[in-house]
Amino acid sequence: MEEAEAVRTELLREKLALENKLQNLNESDLFSHETNPDRHPGILEKKIVDLKSELAEKHDAAAAAIEKMRRAEKIAADAQKEIAAERQSIVQLHKDKAMLEKSVNDLRMKLVDLETRSYRGGSGEGSFLPKRIREVLTLSNKI
């Protein structure tokens, strides 16, 4: 993009130089047939046409460089949008991962607690674990 900007600046500088050169030729009396009889009007007209065509070429090249720069800016803007979307999805994935890790840890703690209760024994607690396992299996079959 910087290269396109440098080319554009150089082309504009050359365009201004050609315009100034043409203006100076018009202002000087070189085109006057009376002041400079050595100059042929046809040669001067050809020179003017050449300068104008060179100026038009420089203008076209500058326009092409500007278009190239605009396309590069558009591509860069699109890439930045994609990067922002990816960052957002990465943040969401990290949040989901943290939530799942917390859920796993909670379930492990419940499992340890239930295993501890079943080993201790007790009148009502011995049947609690098999009932809870059946509930979980029933819920998982429904899902």
In this prediction, residue 6 has a pLDDT band, given cuts at 50, 70 and 90, of: confident
In this prediction, residue 10 has a pLDDT band, given cuts at 50, 70 and 90, of: confident
Higher local confidence (pLDDT), 47 or 123? 47
Number of domains in the chain: 1
Find all residues with CB under 8 Å of 125, minimum gap 6, and list them. Answer: 117, 118
Tell me the average pLDDT across 83-96: 97
Q: What is the mean pLDDT of the chain?
A: 83
Q: What b-and-e string marks burial along 58-72, b requiring 16 or more CB atoms within 10 Å of the CB?
A: beebbeebbebbeee
Share of the chain above pLDDT 70, in %: 85
Higher local confidence (pLDDT), 94 or 111? 94
Q: Which domain holds residue 93?
A: 2-142
Helices (H) and strands (E) in the chain, counts: 3, 0
DSSP label at residue 142: H
